[in-house]
Amino acid sequence: MADLPKTITQTQAAELVGMTTRWVRLRATDGFFQRSARGVYDLHQLVRGIVAYYESLLEKGNKAASANRASDARTREVELRIAEREGRLIPSEDAAAVVADLAALVLSEMSGLAARVTRDLDLRRKIEAETDGVIDRIRARAEGRAVALRAGIVDLDEE
């Protein structure tokens, strides 16, 4: 560090940071560093000031990003309220109740199907075996979808 000069000209400062002399003057005007004489800056103060300038830019960027996230969340909330009012969005509990009601109807109708179709006991057992298989597959699918729905990962295209 002993080889470095204590002061640097405005032109040298601009070359050092890859900016224009006007940019260097503006940062000095903004108070990030001070001139030690007309067009001359203390090198250490200049470096610290430039670091402070870029840190302030990062802080402003973080604040802006935070404000954007908050704004996005409010927008999303408004969109959901509008969708609910328009009937395009219903509470998941209501949807689950409708599905459970329909599933109960299917199960009760399938359970009595064999007895309604025939009095032949052999044929009735075959029909009951098939309907029991259908009921088991429906129940397994419904349980899997209920777990996925509660986890928020429902994919209706999933087989």
R_g (Cα) of the chain, nearest Å: 36
Domain C-terminal end among 77, 102, 128: 77
In a domain, residue 14? The reply is: yes
What is the pLDDT at residue 90? 80
In a domain, residue 157? The reply is: no
Range of the domain at 110: 90-151
Match 């509008």 to its residue by tokens: 82
Q: At residue 154, does pLDDT exceed 90? A: no
CB atoms under 10 Å from CB of 147, counted, come to 11
Residues 46 and 99 in one domain: no
pLDDT tens across 90-117, in order?
887 888 788 888 888 988 888 888 888 9
Residues 64 and 30 in one domain: yes
Question: What is the mean pLDDT of the segment spanning 125-133?
Answer: 92
pLDDT tens across 25-53, in order?
999 999 999 988 898 998 999 999 999 99
Token pair belonging to 144? 């899997």
In a domain, residue 64? The reply is: yes
What is the pLDDT at residue 63? 84
Token pair belonging to 63? 């604040």
Closest CA to 135 of 92, 106, 93: 106
CB atoms under 10 Å from CB of 110, counted, come to 17
DSSP notation for 71-83: HHHHHHHHHHHHH
Q: Indicate the pTM of the whole model.
A: 0.42
In a domain, residue 73? The reply is: yes
DSSP notation for 79-104: HHHHHHHTTS---HHHHHHHHHHHHH
Residues 15 and 67 in one domain: yes
Residues 103 and 63 in one domain: no
8 Å CB contact between 57 and 30? no
Which residue type, as a one-letter code, is found at position 149?
L
Residues 73 and 94 in one domain: no
Residues 95 and 72 in one domain: no
Q: At residue 145, does pLDDT exceed 60? A: yes
- What is the DSSP code (8-state) at residue 6? S
In a domain, residue 119? The reply is: yes
Name the E strands within the chain: 7-9, 35-37, 40-42
Give the count of domains, the chain.
2
Residues 24 and 64 in one domain: yes
In a domain, residue 1? The reply is: no
In a domain, residue 112? The reply is: yes
Q: At residue 86, does pLDDT exceed 70? A: yes
In a domain, residue 128? The reply is: yes
